[in-house]
Amino acid sequence: METMQEGKARIKVYVSETVSKDLPVFYNPVMKLNRDITVLLLNSVDKKNMQIALPLAATGVRGVRFLLELKKSKIKSISFNDNNTEAVKLIKSNLKLNKIKLNKKINISNLDANLFILNSKGFDYIDIDPFGSPNFVLDSAVKRLGREGILAVTATDTGALCGSYKNACLRKYSGKPLRNEFCHETGLRILISKVQSTGTQYDKALTPIFSYSKEHYFRVFFKCIKGKKKVDELMKNIRYIVHCSSCLFRKTTKDIFNSNKCPVCSSKTDYAGPLWLGQLWDKKLLTRMCKNIKNSEDKKLVKFLEIIKNESKISSAGFYDVAKVVKHNKLKSVPKKNLLIKEIKKAGFNAAETHIRPNSIRSSIELKELIKLIKKINQ
């Protein structure tokens, strides 16, 4: 066991050469960004006196950081839970290490995650951050999520959501994945649709306020709005993405029954969905997050947020891997990303770098127009 520094917290953790769920208590240092963004988001949302739940608390690092780094007005109570007795001991040890005294505001329990949630009266913020799929605890979390509450969900089973294991995605997430250049975006949108379908059963509209794909995981924050009309409006954004691997054409559609032939090259198309085709981010929240972090020494996080902020201005689903477009169409060379974005905007379309894939662009431009533009730049 080692003592590590993360954010303002000092924590004791079990370490090994490879991060594994077989650790006595799970801790993944790579997920620091996940926790950094969570702290930033909670400090940026317009919510105070939150009752916070951590059903899968593990080392307690997330909760310790909340107590040390969130504004004092943010936390009414915080509940740590883990089914592992060793984890509960470690949570208490890490609170003590950071000189945080146990009081009425801090609760620690050793229960199955679902029992912990269902035995409660409800929470304003629930954080689901498992190893693998979040499915096993979604129903309980949605049931106990309060009005205007925030649900944070992580999924690390990207192999299923991105199409490496299509049947697993169909079983777990009720959606068909698509393995192509923008598979991480379709995977993210399938995850969102799954969480939302859980909410619709309880007349809870779960709207994404911040979403991202990073390395081996997806992360989405949802705001809960209660009401049948809100749910009906939300469900209008559940659709499909159709894609042609022969010419790279793509489109969004309400159904896929008449979408098996490419309108450009007549090849057979494939599809992903059903999935969420609405906005992935709340723009006002993003602006506040960027403002709150602009003076941070963590330049990587600042840049990551700035890329997402620019990307959020474009409502298009899917993006263009420029190198793939160039190779597929036997074009002369790959133009510099910033130059291409500038030229796309000059042509009257929106364009921005995407955080999901390097050297890829999210844009309202159609593929045929993009190809013309790249040819023009290459002249």
Q: Do 234 and 308 reside in the same domain of the chain?
A: no
Residue 336 pLDDT:
95
Residue 16 pLDDT:
77
The tens digit of pLDDT for each residue in 222-255 reads: 999 999 999 999 999 999 999 999 999 999 999 8
Q: Do 209 and 345 reside in the same domain of the chain?
A: no
- Give the residue from 273, 366, 364 showing the smallest Cα distance to 325: 366
CA distances to 185, 187, 203, 215, 278 from 225, rounded to whole Å, are: 24, 24, 9, 30, 16
Q: Does the residue 337 lie in any domain?
A: yes
Domain edge (last residue) among 194, 210, 238? 238
Q: Does the residue 280 lie in any domain?
A: no
Residue 15 pLDDT:
82
Number of domains comprising the chain: 2
Q: Do 197 and 346 reside in the same domain of the chain?
A: no
**379, two tokens:** 């002249």
Average pLDDT on 313-317 reads 94
The tens digit of pLDDT for each residue in 61-78 reads: 999 999 999 999 999 999
Q: Does the residue 169 lie in any domain?
A: yes
Confidence of residue 334 (pLDDT cuts 50, 70, 90): very high
Cα–chain center distance at 140: 20
The tens digit of pLDDT for each residue in 158-172 reads: 999 999 999 999 999
Domain edge (last residue) among 208, 238, 268? 238
Q: Do 179 and 94 reside in the same domain of the chain?
A: yes
Domain edge (last residue) among 216, 238, 260? 238
Average pLDDT on 132-154 reads 97
Average pLDDT on 335-352 reads 96
What ranges make up the beta strands (E) of 140-237?
A: 145-155, 204-214, 217-226
Q: How far apart are CA 100 and CA 355, in angstroms?
A: 36
Percent of the chain past pLDDT 90, that is, above it, reads 92
User: Taking all residues of the chain, what is their mean pLDDT, rounded to a whole number?
Assistant: 96
Q: Does the residue 228 lie in any domain?
A: yes
Q: Do 216 and 311 reside in the same domain of the chain?
A: no
The one-character DSSP state at 162 is T
Listed in sequence order, the residues at least 6 apart from 152 whose beta carbon sits closer than 8 Å to its beta carbon are: 38, 125, 126, 127, 128, 129, 219, 220, 221, 222
Q: Do 225 and 312 reside in the same domain of the chain?
A: no
The one-character DSSP state at 111 is S
The CATH code of the domain that includes 13 is 3.40.50.150
Confidence of residue 22 (pLDDT cuts 50, 70, 90): confident
Contact 213, 194 (CB under 8 A): no
Q: Do 95 and 229 reside in the same domain of the chain?
A: yes
The CATH code of the domain that includes 312 is 3.30.56.70
Q: Is the pLDDT of residue 17 over 80?
A: no
Which domain range does residue 358 map to? 304-378
Q: Does the residue 186 lie in any domain?
A: yes
Q: Does the residue 44 lie in any domain?
A: yes
Q: Do 22 and 108 reside in the same domain of the chain?
A: yes
Q: Does the residue 230 lie in any domain?
A: yes
Q: Do 361 and 224 reside in the same domain of the chain?
A: no
Residue 221 pLDDT:
99
